[in-house]
Amino acid sequence: MTIRRRTISIGAAMALSAVGLAAVGLAGCATSNQSPSQSPSQSPTQSLSPTAAKPAALSGTITVFAASSLKETFTKLGAAFEAANPGTKILFSFAASSGLATQITSGAPADVFAAASTTTMTTVVSAGLASSPVTFAKNTMEIAVPPTNPAGIAALADLSQSGVKVALCQVAVPCGSTAAKVFKAAKLTVSAVTLEPDVKSVLGKVELGEVDAGVVYVTDVLAAGSKVLGITIPSSVNATTAYPIAALSGSTNPALAQAFLAYVTSADGQAVLTAAGFAGP
Amino acid sequence: MSPPRGTRRIRANRIPRPLLVPAVLGVALLILPLAGLLIRTPWSHLGAELRSAAAVQALWLSLWTATCATAISVIIGVPLAWILARREFAGRRLLRALVILPLVLPPVVGGVALLLAFGRNGVLGHWLYNSFGFSLPFTPAAVILAQTFVAMPFLIVAVEGALRSSTGELESAAETLGAQPWQVFLRVSLPLIAPSLAAGAVLCWARALGEFGATITFAGSFPGRTQTMPIAVYYALENDPAAAIALSLVLLVVSLCVLVGLRDSWFPVGSGLQDRGVRT
């Protein structure tokens, strides 16, 4: 009897204290990860206005959630920003905008969100996690084919031929919905062999030659260099997507978040984006 | 803290504090996420979520591809396990290590490897494509291949372990009595390892059902063709979290059933220590 009772009480104690202990444990790990990056002198009042953030005052680390298609440009912008502001560190998480938006609304610790469509940004804004996003670039679609162009793709209409293997983004992702607009405008039915999770996965399947064509952004074809061949989509049917950027209300370093946002929209930032093939806002 | 009051037996059953705290954390870590899934499950419209065409399509695809992958694993995995367990030859250890490598290999790496081997431009796939105009990626066959690659080692390990733990005396006896090696395998070895084979096959099936990384890399994702349950969950999370939770619940229930079914044959509960403590 004694033995049995004791065993039960141990089990019950384990179950009951599990919740509390886990919460404490996880919170402890989370804070210890973040705290060293923050400047102790930073006060929330000075951070709200971007003009007040003098370069010398900036320090610490921010995490920027950015659309896959911004990988090359934002990596470059981040490095340039860090060089101009010693003591700062810009970390990036590149993925499909829709996935990033889900992560943010689920509480992922991020400071800035740069999306590849206003729709994905809206989900974050309407969740109250960001306000007044600014459009900083625009992008259009292009067909990417392997350098050998195995299916002899010459025009958009070729994608609807049977036997042509086409990779697209899944429709929840901005590159997928924008490609769908292109097909609708051109009155084409394109049956893809695969709907990839983000634009870089589409590009990867094209680069490996596993598909005959992929519909990606103009900037992706440019960034891929000689690894793919670009086939222009006529502007009469091409669709445009706007890239909004916003600082997130949950940011632990709003001063740095605003400063990076200001840098992206500055003339210097715009020059990098334009060189990569993005259109101005 | 507590004085040594009870009998020796009771103290033997107590859990030392330094072990209890991490263990409680472990319980929380493993069980809380599942509780979260149950709490957030949209019970009121769960049926509607699961009856949706997309969910049915993904579930059906997952079920039949995982079953095919398991069948292939049994057909080619059992002979392989038998050779590894029963025959001595140069490079056996190396072969064994390579064969079970997918157990520890990140699945997405497996997917890349499959693409480079069986893709249209792959080492083997190139020849397949040029000779027969057939390319494997983005087909249900690619899903099955990816699942087999990742899940078959589970079956091989189970069967090989069973063969190794039996001494082979019955096989020897059968051979002495004039049975051909093939007859010995079919009539003696196979019935001996049947329980382990069944457990290994179920484990293999469950692993195939949950396959994600290798599948999305090698087979891509298209609803009804290559978009299996785990991929459907991943995609649904971005635009329809309720559907993602509903699909996750199905996979959780299936996994639980597998575990309950395997409980005795694969994961022996209580290796005796606890029972003995109470009994003596």
Q: How many CB atoms lie within 10 A of CB A246?
A: 20
User: A240: which 2 tokens?
Assistant: 């445009």
Q: Note whether A197 contacts B221, CB cutoff 8 Å.
A: yes
- DSSP H helices, B87-220, are 92-99, 107-118, 125-132, 140-165, 169-176, 181-184, 190-209, 213-218
Q: Is A96 exposed, middle or buried (0-12, 13-18, 19+ CB in 10 A)?
A: buried
Give the span between the Cα atoms of B229 and A262, in whole angstroms: 42
- pLDDT lower than 70: segments of chain B: 1-11, 264-280
Paired with A168 in beta bridges are: A195
Indicate if A143 and A214 belong to the same structural domain.
Answer: yes
Contact A195 B237 (CB under 8 A): no
Instruction: Sort out which chain B residues have CB atoms less than 8 A from A102's CB and list them.
Output: 237-238, 241
Q: What share of chain B is helix, strand, coil (3-state, %, to 5)?
A: 75, 0, 25
Q: Looking at the complex, report in whole angstroms how far the Cα of residue B112 sits from the nearest Cα belonging to chain A.
A: 10
Nearest alpha carbon to residue A151 among A100, A190, A118:
A190
Using CB atoms, pick whichever of B25, B115, B221 lies closest to residue A196. B221
CB–CB contact A197 B216 (8 Å): yes
A144 within a domain of the structure (yes/no): yes
In tens digits, chain A (281 residues) has pLDDT values of 344 444 444 444 444 454 444 444 444 444 444 433 344 444 444 444 444 444 457 899 999 999 999 999 999 999 999 999 999 999 999 999 999 999 999 889 999 999 999 999 999 999 999 989 999 999 999 999 999 999 999 999 999 998 999 999 999 899 999 999 999 999 999 999 999 999 999 999 999 999 999 999 999 999 999 999 999 999 999 999 999 999 999 999 999 999 999 999 999 999 999 999 999 98
Pairing status of strand A240-247 against strand A112-114: antiparallel
Pairing of strands A112-114, A60-67: parallel
Distance between CA B111 and CA B129 in Å, rounded?
19
What are A166's strand-pairing partners? Answer: A213
The answer to whether residues A175 and A201 belong to one domain is yes
How many whole angstroms separate alpha carbon B112 and alpha carbon A201? 12
Distance CA B170, CA B175 (A): 9
**Do both A213 and A269 map to the same domain?**
no
Residue A131 domain flag: yes
The superfamily CATH assigns to domain B39-279 is MetI-like (1.10.3720.10)
The strand ranges marked E within chain A are: 60-67, 88-95, 112-114, 134-145, 166-169, 194-196, 213-217, 229-232, 240-247
Looking at the structure, tell me whether residues A143 and A111 fall in a common domain. Answer: no
Same domain, A160 and A202: yes
pLDDT at residue A194, rounded to an integer: 95
Rounded CA-CA distance B198/B238 in Å is 37
Distance from CA of B220 to the nearest CA of A (A): 5
- A106 assigned to some structural domain: yes
Check whether residue A152 and residue A186 sit in a common domain.
yes
Exposure of B51 by Cβ count < 10 A (0-12 exposed, 13-18 middle, 19+ buried)?
exposed
Q: Is residue A19 part of a domain?
A: no
Could you list the residue range(s) of the whole structural domain that residue A177 is in? 139-240
Residue A22 lies in a domain: no
Which residues, 6+ apart, have CB-to-CB distance to A221 below 8 Å?
A: A142, A144, A228, A230, A277
Together in a domain, A88 and A203: no
Q: What is the pLDDT of residues B132-162, one digit of tens each?
A: 888 899 999 999 999 999 999 999 999 999 9
Encoded tokens for A274: 């334009």
Q: What is the CATH number of the domain that holds A214?
A: 3.40.190.10
Q: Mark yes or no for CB contact A165/B27 under 8 Å.
A: no
HSE-up of residue B249 (Cα within 13 Å, Cβ side)? 20
Structural domains counted in chain A: 2
Residues of B in contact with A165 (CB under 8 A): 135, 138
Q: Identify the pLDDT of residue B3.
A: 52
User: Would an 8 Å CB–CB cutoff place B10 in contact with chain A?
Assistant: yes
In chain B, the residue whose alpha carbon lies closest to the alpha carbon of A165 is: B138
| Residues A182 and A125 placed together within one structural domain of the fold | no
Q: Residue B146 in contact with residue B72, Cβ under 8 Å?
A: no
Does B14 contact chain A (CB < 8 Å)? yes
Please indicate, yes or no, whether residues A129 and A143 belong to a single structural domain of this protein: no
Whole-prediction pTM value?
A: 0.79
The contacts of residue B108 (CB under 8 Å, 6+ apart) are B213, B214, B216, B217
Residue A15 contacts B where some CB pair is shorter than 8 Å: yes
Residues A73 and A207 in one domain: no
Out of B27, B120, B239, closest to residue A18 by CB: B27
Boundaries of every domain in chain B: 39-279
A134 and A268: one domain?
yes
In this prediction the ipTM stands at 0.78
